[in-house]
């Protein structure tokens, strides 16, 4: 859940997290399927495509850029399963959608995470659900 933060007397809100990519519409469709957020008024040839968080900001914005991704992302998303699904179930589902496991950091006690790549090679992590963390 988003929380506004007061810095130096001012409130700031993270409105969007932006991912540069070669094909924004295709990547946004993949992420829409992965996290369940809808695309906002977009078409396949658009240079910018937004996924709208149903609960309000932050949203995810995909922007067309000419250069290929060449290095590790300096920022990435950490995702946690919802609706009673487990981290392991979601890893399986995302791999079937086209994600690739980059690193498996799950520990025998159930803690840890899995680092994945989306179809464009952007890293993201999948952590345990809230229900799994209280067990």
Do 31 and 59 fall into the same domain?
yes
Query: Are residues 62 and 2 part of one domain?
Result: yes
Does 54 share its domain with 89?
no
pLDDT at 58: 95
Q: How many domains does the chain have?
A: 2
Q: Which residues pair with 104 in a beta bridge?
A: 114
Q: How far apart are CA 41 and CA 110, in angstroms?
A: 40
The pLDDT value recorded for residue 1 is 52
Please state, rounded to an integer, the average pLDDT across all residues of the chain: 92
Whether residue 6 is predicted with pLDDT greater than 70 in this model: the reply is no
Answer yes or no: are the C-beta atoms of 60 and 19 closer than 8 Å. yes
Residue of 58, 50, 51 whose CA lies nearest to 14:
58
Clarify whether residues 2 and 40 are in a common domain.
yes
| pLDDT at 2 > cutoff 60 | no
Full domain range(s) for residue 46: 1-68
**Same domain? 17 vs 77:** no
Q: Are residues 3 and 58 in the same domain?
A: yes
């Amino acid at each position: 859940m988003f929380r506004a933060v007061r810095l130096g007397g001012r409130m700031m809100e993270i409105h969007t997290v932006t991912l540069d990519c070669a094909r924004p519409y295709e990547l946004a469709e993949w992420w829409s399927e992965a996290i369940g957020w809808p695309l906002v008024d977009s078409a396949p040839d658009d240079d910018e495509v937004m996924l709208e968080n149903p609960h309000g900001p932050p949203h995810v914005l995909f922007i067309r850029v000419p250069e290929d991704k060449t290095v590790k992302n300096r920022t990435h998303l950490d995702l946690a399963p919802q609706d009673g699904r487990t981290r392991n179930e979601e890893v399986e589902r995302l791999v079937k959608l086209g994600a690739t496991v980059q690193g498996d950091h799950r520990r025998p006690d159930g803690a840890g995470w899995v680092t994945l790549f989306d179809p464009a090679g952007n890293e993201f992590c999948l952590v345990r659900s809230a229900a799994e963390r209280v067990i």
